[in-house]
Structure 1
Amino acid sequence: MSAPQTEDVLQRYLAHARVQRRLAPRTLSLYADALQRLQALALRDGVELLRLQTAQARRWVAQLHREGLGPRSLALLLSAWRGLYRWLGGERLVALNPIEGLRAPKAAKPLPKALSADDAVQLADHADTRADPALEARDRCIVELLYGCGLRVAELVGLDAQASGTARGWVDLASAEAQVLGKGSKRRSVPLG
């Protein structure tokens, strides 16, 4: 397929994405950029887009990754390319989708940001003089358990005041510990702050 024909097919696909799939303008812009990159790679390597093979597409993704394109950007490219080939298959212009089995490298999952010690102290010391003293005491205990004991919210809400057959967790004031049921249904003991 020559460059003008390729351009026409890509424009028809983008029109389909805009009208039939109702993609947002920003998504359409990102898809257009992804398809331009695909077209540039194909022209550079002398590959016809309608004859693209999975191995060649995999090499392109690996090359883009080596050049510094991040996992999320690669996932977006692959989504646009996969959609194009799915549409080409529906138009009976290709027999198979060479992008279908390709996956972007996994993106690192950043750890949640921890509350600084100063912010935790400020949160624990916060008092509303107009609020109910019982609610203020409860809120203070919640902050202390969450931050001081390192509890997860799910562990906190599973706590009872005392041990019982149905308790998922409890606070043992005599030993100054909280027994909690954590991730993977594992029980652990944490010291109270």
Structure 2
Amino acid sequence: MPCAEQMDWIEKYLEHVRVERRLAARTVELYAFHLQALRDHAAEARLPLDRVQTAHVRRWMAQLHSAGREPRGIALVLSCWRSFYRWLGHEGLIGFNPVQDVHAPKAGKPLPKALGVDDAVRLAELYDPEADPWTEARDGAIVEVLYGCGLRVSELTGLDAQASGTARGWLDLDAGEANVLGKGSKRRIVPMGSKA
């Protein structure tokens, strides 16, 4: 069972993050909540905080995951606990951080939502009779190249009219292609529709 001194560790740590690290009040509240959960788990396992092992932390995280907690939420709990145990180590109160090598489950990476066909057509056909014809032509070409080639906005803005030693990407109008420098500095060639 945790001794009174160990019960005080959490209070001292919360004071440390509030005063020395100057964390926001809401963040300190979340830390207090997550550290109370750590205290409860340790008490349930009849463990003092300095006897918690990596296997215990992994079991508690698995319980959170099976209870439906999102990976991002689990990562926040782990970050709080890891920081707490790191502080205990700096204070010379423990010699081992049981959370150091525990990682949250990987969060899914949803694909970005593409513009629907009807919305893209409506955007491409948008016409403002008051606008400058050159601006209208430019904007139409931008939409056609962006949507028709499946480019990211950053890739589109990196395109030059022709290839050069400094171009990140360029349009090859004769071949009907765009040479694009994408994420991870990977170069790819994409077809460009005749309308663009």
Q: TM-score range by the shorter chain?
A: 0.7 to 0.9
CA drift at 1:164: 6.2
Structure 1 residues 119-145: Cα deviation after superposition (integer angstroms, max 9, x where no partner):
222322333333322112101100111
TM superposition score normalised by structure 1: 0.86
| Partner residue in 1 for 2:41 | 41
Mapped contact 1:158–1:180 kept (Cα < 8 A) = no
Unaligned residue ranges in structure 2 (runs of 5+): none
| Partner residue in 2 for 1:179 | 178
Structure 1 residues 118-175: Cα deviation after superposition (integer angstroms, max 9, x where no partner):
3222322333333322112101100111112222224323434456676633142x55
CA drift at 1:114: 1.3
Matches within 5 A, 1:112-127: 112-127=112-127
CA drift at 1:59: 2.1
TM superposition score normalised by structure 2: 0.85
Mapped contact 1:159–1:171 kept (Cα < 8 A) = no
Unaligned residue ranges in structure 1 (runs of 5+): none
- My pick for the range that moved more, 182-191 or 42-51, is 182-191
3-state SS, counterpart of residue 189 of structure 1: strand
3-state SS, counterpart of residue 190 of structure 2: strand
- Cα separation, partners in 2 of 1:162 and 1:82, compared to 1, 3 Å: closer
Letter in 2 for 1:188: I
- Count of matched residue pairs: 191
CA drift at 1:64: 2.0
- Cα separation, partners in 2 of 1:164 and 1:86, compared to 1, 3 Å: closer
User: Stretches of 4+ moved more than 6 A in 1?
Assistant: none
CA drift at 1:65: 1.7
- Asked if 1:189 is matched to 2:190, the reply is yes
- My pick for the range that moved more, 112-121 or 26-35, is 112-121
Matches within 5 A, 1:29-178: 29-162=29-162, 168-172=169-173, 177-178=176-177
CA drift at 1:78: 0.7
CA drift at 1:77: 0.5
Q: Distance in 2 between matches of 1:163 and 1:144?
A: 20
Mapped contact 1:78–1:104 kept (Cα < 8 A) = yes
Mapped contact 1:180–1:188 kept (Cα < 8 A) = yes
Q: Distance in 1 between matches of 2:165 and 2:37?
A: 61
Q: Distance in 2 between matches of 1:44 and 1:165?
A: 65
- My pick for the range that moved more, 119-128 or 27-36, is 119-128
Letter in 2 for 1:68: G
Letter in 2 for 1:170: L
- My pick for the range that moved more, 80-89 or 149-158, is 149-158
Q: Distance in 2 between matches of 1:29 and 1:143?
A: 47
